[in-house]
Structure 1
Amino acid sequence: MYRFVLSSIFFVWISTVNAAPDPVLSQTLQQKQQELAALTKKVDAAAAVLADEQANLARHAEGLEEATQSLVDAEREMKAKLLAAETNPDETAMRESVLASIRYNRFEARVKRYTGRKEESEQSVAAAEQVYQNLAKQQKDLEFVISELSSKRDELASKKVAASTNVQAAQSVSAPAKAAEVVTPVAAKTEAPKAKVSIEDAAGVGTWPYLSNASEQDIRYARTYIAELEADKAKGEIDSAPLAEVELVAKNSFGKSDMDYLGDDLYMLTKKVRAGSQRFALFNKDYWHTIPEADDQAEYVFIFDVSSLSKPELFLFKKSLIAQ
Structure 2
Amino acid sequence: MNLKDKLQDDTLDLSMSDLQEVPVKDIAAVRKASHLDLSNNRLVSLPRTFVTLTHIVKLDLSKNQLTELPENFGDMRQLKYLDLYSNQISRLPLSLAELKNLKWLDLKGNPLSPGVASVAGLCSNSKECQACARKVVAYLTDVKRSIDEEKQRRIEAVAAVGSEKDTAPVKKDAKKKKKKSENKDNKSRVDKENAGGPKPEQQKTNGHTATSKLKSRMKSSSGSALETDGTTARLCKNLVRLIFWLTALSALVVLAYVTLPLFDKQRSDSISDYLEVQSGQPVKYYQQIGTKYLEKLIDSIILWNDDLQTIARDFYTKYLTPDSSRSDL
TM-score above 0.5: no
Q: Which has the larger radius of gyration?
A: 2
Q: Which has the higher helix share?
A: 2
TM-score by length of 2: 0.29
Q: Which has the higher strand share?
A: 1
